[in-house]
Amino acid sequence: MSLSSMILLVEGARPASSLAPVLEDKGYVVALASNVKEALNQVREAAPALTVVNAATLHTDGQRICIDLREASPLLPIVMVVRHGIDPDKIDCADVVLVRPFTTRKLLNRIGRLLPDTAGEVLCVDNLVLNLNTHLLRVGRAEHRLTPMKARLLEEFLRHPGETLSREYLMKSVWQTNYTGDTRTIEVHVRWLRQIIEVDAAQPKLLRTVRGVGYRSTIGVSA
Protein backbone atom coordinates (compact mmCIF):
# COMPACT_ATOMS: atom_id res chain seq x y z
CA MET A 1 0.00 0.00 0.00
CA SER A 2 1.27 3.45 -0.86
CA LEU A 3 0.74 7.15 -0.30
CA SER A 4 1.24 7.98 -3.97
CA SER A 5 0.09 6.67 -7.32
CA MET A 6 2.08 3.56 -8.13
CA ILE A 7 2.62 1.83 -11.46
CA LEU A 8 3.54 -1.83 -11.56
CA LEU A 9 6.02 -2.44 -14.39
CA VAL A 10 6.38 -6.05 -15.51
CA GLU A 11 9.40 -6.51 -17.75
CA GLY A 12 12.38 -8.76 -18.24
CA ALA A 13 15.29 -8.62 -15.81
CA ARG A 14 17.82 -5.97 -16.87
CA PRO A 15 16.21 -5.25 -20.25
CA ALA A 16 18.09 -3.24 -22.85
CA SER A 17 15.22 -0.75 -23.07
CA SER A 18 13.53 -0.51 -19.68
CA LEU A 19 10.46 1.71 -19.33
CA ALA A 20 11.23 2.43 -15.66
CA PRO A 21 13.30 5.60 -16.27
CA VAL A 22 10.57 7.04 -18.50
CA LEU A 23 7.91 6.51 -15.84
CA GLU A 24 10.09 7.69 -12.95
CA ASP A 25 11.10 10.84 -14.82
CA LYS A 26 7.40 11.63 -15.13
CA GLY A 27 7.07 11.37 -11.35
CA TYR A 28 5.42 7.98 -11.04
CA VAL A 29 6.37 5.54 -8.29
CA VAL A 30 7.40 2.31 -10.05
CA ALA A 31 7.23 -1.21 -8.62
CA LEU A 32 9.13 -3.78 -10.67
CA ALA A 33 8.36 -7.43 -11.40
CA SER A 34 10.03 -9.79 -13.86
CA ASN A 35 7.58 -12.71 -13.74
CA VAL A 36 3.98 -13.51 -12.94
CA LYS A 37 4.68 -14.54 -9.33
CA GLU A 38 6.42 -11.26 -8.54
CA ALA A 39 3.69 -9.32 -10.36
CA LEU A 40 0.88 -10.94 -8.37
CA ASN A 41 2.75 -10.30 -5.11
CA GLN A 42 3.11 -6.63 -6.02
CA VAL A 43 -0.61 -6.39 -6.81
CA ARG A 44 -1.44 -7.76 -3.36
CA GLU A 45 1.18 -5.80 -1.42
CA ALA A 46 1.66 -2.52 -3.29
CA ALA A 47 -1.89 -1.96 -4.64
CA PRO A 48 -0.71 -0.31 -7.89
CA ALA A 49 -3.01 2.13 -9.68
CA LEU A 50 -2.00 0.71 -13.08
CA THR A 51 0.16 -2.04 -14.60
CA VAL A 52 2.42 -1.85 -17.64
CA VAL A 53 3.35 -5.27 -19.05
CA ASN A 54 6.44 -4.76 -21.21
CA ALA A 55 6.01 -8.03 -23.09
CA ALA A 56 8.61 -6.98 -25.65
CA THR A 57 11.29 -7.68 -23.00
CA LEU A 58 9.84 -10.95 -21.70
CA HIS A 59 10.45 -14.49 -22.90
CA THR A 60 6.69 -14.88 -23.44
CA ASP A 61 4.10 -12.82 -25.28
CA GLY A 62 2.83 -11.49 -21.94
CA GLN A 63 -0.69 -12.83 -22.43
CA ARG A 64 -0.50 -15.27 -19.51
CA ILE A 65 0.75 -12.58 -17.15
CA CYS A 66 -1.93 -10.19 -18.36
CA ILE A 67 -4.68 -12.78 -17.86
CA ASP A 68 -3.44 -13.71 -14.37
CA LEU A 69 -3.30 -10.04 -13.37
CA ARG A 70 -6.83 -9.51 -14.68
CA GLU A 71 -8.09 -12.49 -12.67
CA ALA A 72 -6.34 -11.27 -9.51
CA SER A 73 -7.53 -7.67 -9.86
CA PRO A 74 -10.35 -7.31 -12.41
CA LEU A 75 -10.45 -3.51 -12.23
CA LEU A 76 -6.69 -2.90 -12.48
CA PRO A 77 -5.91 -0.97 -15.70
CA ILE A 78 -3.34 -2.77 -17.87
CA VAL A 79 -1.14 -1.37 -20.64
CA MET A 80 0.54 -4.04 -22.79
CA VAL A 81 3.70 -3.27 -24.77
CA VAL A 82 4.45 -5.74 -27.57
CA ARG A 83 7.17 -6.05 -30.18
CA HIS A 84 6.73 -5.13 -33.83
CA GLY A 85 4.77 -7.71 -35.80
CA ILE A 86 2.28 -8.61 -33.06
CA ASP A 87 -1.36 -7.99 -33.97
CA PRO A 88 -2.80 -5.84 -31.13
CA ASP A 89 -6.35 -6.83 -32.08
CA LYS A 90 -5.62 -10.37 -30.91
CA ILE A 91 -4.82 -9.18 -27.37
CA ASP A 92 -8.04 -8.65 -25.43
CA CYS A 93 -6.79 -8.92 -21.84
CA ALA A 94 -5.31 -5.40 -21.73
CA ASP A 95 -6.98 -1.99 -21.75
CA VAL A 96 -4.36 -0.57 -24.12
CA VAL A 97 -1.89 -2.33 -26.43
CA LEU A 98 1.13 -0.43 -27.75
CA VAL A 99 3.27 -1.87 -30.55
CA ARG A 100 6.94 -0.93 -30.61
CA PRO A 101 8.26 1.45 -31.71
CA PHE A 102 6.24 4.28 -30.18
CA THR A 103 7.03 7.66 -28.67
CA THR A 104 7.40 8.33 -24.97
CA ARG A 105 4.56 10.85 -25.26
CA LYS A 106 2.23 8.19 -26.62
CA LEU A 107 2.98 5.86 -23.71
CA LEU A 108 2.47 8.59 -21.11
CA ASN A 109 -0.73 9.79 -22.77
CA ARG A 110 -2.20 6.28 -22.69
CA ILE A 111 -1.24 5.88 -19.04
CA GLY A 112 -2.62 9.29 -18.14
CA ARG A 113 -6.02 8.43 -19.60
CA LEU A 114 -6.29 5.37 -17.38
CA LEU A 115 -5.18 7.05 -14.16
CA PRO A 116 -7.20 9.45 -12.02
CA ASP A 117 -6.09 13.05 -11.58
CA THR A 118 -2.81 12.68 -9.70
CA ALA A 119 -2.08 16.35 -8.92
CA GLY A 120 -1.39 16.55 -5.20
CA GLU A 121 -1.19 13.83 -2.56
CA VAL A 122 -2.96 10.60 -3.39
CA LEU A 123 -3.95 7.70 -1.17
CA CYS A 124 -4.04 4.33 -2.94
CA VAL A 125 -5.36 1.16 -1.34
CA ASP A 126 -6.84 -1.89 -3.02
CA ASN A 127 -9.07 -0.53 -5.82
CA LEU A 128 -9.53 2.90 -4.18
CA VAL A 129 -7.54 5.97 -5.22
CA LEU A 130 -8.34 9.19 -3.34
CA ASN A 131 -6.82 12.51 -4.43
CA LEU A 132 -6.64 14.67 -1.30
CA ASN A 133 -6.39 17.92 -3.27
CA THR A 134 -9.08 17.46 -5.89
CA HIS A 135 -11.32 15.16 -3.77
CA LEU A 136 -11.55 12.85 -6.77
CA LEU A 137 -12.14 9.23 -5.75
CA ARG A 138 -11.58 6.39 -8.15
CA VAL A 139 -13.20 3.06 -7.31
CA GLY A 140 -11.93 0.60 -9.89
CA ARG A 141 -12.63 2.39 -13.17
CA ALA A 142 -15.46 4.56 -11.83
CA GLU A 143 -14.70 8.12 -10.71
CA HIS A 144 -16.57 10.12 -8.08
CA ARG A 145 -16.13 13.76 -7.11
CA LEU A 146 -16.51 13.93 -3.31
CA THR A 147 -17.44 16.91 -1.21
CA PRO A 148 -14.61 18.14 1.05
CA MET A 149 -16.27 16.58 4.11
CA LYS A 150 -16.70 13.19 2.45
CA ALA A 151 -13.08 13.28 1.30
CA ARG A 152 -11.81 14.17 4.79
CA LEU A 153 -13.92 11.46 6.40
CA LEU A 154 -12.72 8.82 3.95
CA GLU A 155 -9.13 9.97 4.49
CA GLU A 156 -9.51 9.38 8.23
CA PHE A 157 -10.76 5.85 7.63
CA LEU A 158 -7.98 5.08 5.14
CA ARG A 159 -5.29 6.38 7.50
CA HIS A 160 -6.56 4.32 10.46
CA PRO A 161 -7.12 0.77 9.18
CA GLY A 162 -8.43 -1.62 11.81
CA GLU A 163 -8.95 1.14 14.38
CA THR A 164 -12.32 2.02 15.90
CA LEU A 165 -12.81 5.77 15.45
CA SER A 166 -15.29 7.29 17.86
CA ARG A 167 -17.94 9.74 16.75
CA GLU A 168 -16.33 12.31 19.03
CA TYR A 169 -12.97 11.84 17.31
CA LEU A 170 -14.52 12.14 13.86
CA MET A 171 -16.47 15.30 14.75
CA LYS A 172 -13.25 16.92 15.97
CA SER A 173 -10.90 15.74 13.21
CA VAL A 174 -13.23 16.11 10.22
CA TRP A 175 -15.73 18.79 11.21
CA GLN A 176 -13.33 20.66 13.52
CA THR A 177 -15.79 20.87 16.40
CA ASN A 178 -16.05 19.46 19.90
CA TYR A 179 -19.86 19.49 19.74
CA THR A 180 -21.21 15.94 19.91
CA GLY A 181 -24.82 16.60 20.78
CA ASP A 182 -25.96 15.47 17.33
CA THR A 183 -23.78 13.11 15.28
CA ARG A 184 -26.35 12.33 12.61
CA THR A 185 -24.25 14.19 10.06
CA ILE A 186 -21.54 11.53 10.51
CA GLU A 187 -24.06 8.75 9.95
CA VAL A 188 -25.30 10.45 6.77
CA HIS A 189 -21.79 10.90 5.40
CA VAL A 190 -20.82 7.33 6.23
CA ARG A 191 -23.93 6.13 4.42
CA TRP A 192 -22.96 8.19 1.35
CA LEU A 193 -19.43 6.75 1.38
CA ARG A 194 -20.76 3.20 1.69
CA GLN A 195 -22.94 3.73 -1.37
CA ILE A 196 -19.78 4.58 -3.31
CA ILE A 197 -17.18 2.11 -2.05
CA GLU A 198 -19.13 -0.91 -0.78
CA VAL A 199 -20.26 -3.76 -3.00
CA ASP A 200 -23.44 -3.89 -0.90
CA ALA A 201 -24.04 -0.73 1.12
CA ALA A 202 -26.74 -2.50 3.13
CA GLN A 203 -24.17 -5.04 4.36
CA PRO A 204 -20.96 -3.00 4.64
CA LYS A 205 -17.64 -4.79 4.92
CA LEU A 206 -15.22 -1.87 4.49
CA LEU A 207 -16.76 0.68 6.87
CA ARG A 208 -18.29 -1.15 9.81
CA THR A 209 -20.38 0.30 12.60
CA VAL A 210 -19.19 -0.30 16.15
CA ARG A 211 -22.37 0.15 18.16
CA GLY A 212 -22.22 2.79 20.83
CA VAL A 213 -18.76 3.92 19.78
CA GLY A 214 -18.27 4.81 16.11
CA TYR A 215 -16.86 3.13 13.00
CA ARG A 216 -14.01 0.85 12.00
CA SER A 217 -12.37 0.68 8.58
CA THR A 218 -11.09 -2.66 7.30
CA ILE A 219 -8.98 -1.00 4.60
CA GLY A 220 -6.29 1.64 4.77
CA VAL A 221 -2.69 2.68 4.23
CA SER A 222 0.20 1.82 6.50
CA ALA A 223 2.06 4.59 8.22
Quick check: is 135 in a domain?
no
> Residue 208: beta bridge partners?
216
Percent of the chain having pLDDT more than 90?
Answer: 43
34 is in which domain, residue-wise?
Answer: 6-114
Strand order in the sheet with 207-210: 164-166, 214-217, 207-210
Total number of domains constituting the chain: 2
Quick check: is 186 in a domain?
yes
Quick check: is 130 in a domain?
no
Strand order in the sheet with 78-82: 29-33, 6-10, 50-54, 78-82, 96-99
Nearest to 158 by CA among 184, 141, 139: 139
User: What pLDDT, in 10s, does the model give residues 63-100?
Assistant: 888 999 988 888 789 999 998 888 878 888 889 999 98
| 62 pLDDT tier (thresholds 50, 70, 90) | confident
User: What pLDDT, in 10s, does the model give residues 118-130?
Assistant: 556 778 787 788 8
Do residue 109 and residue 37 come from a single domain?
yes
CATH code for the domain of 11: 3.40.50.2300
Write phi, then psi, for 215 (nearest 5 degrees): -140, 155
Average pLDDT, the chain: 86
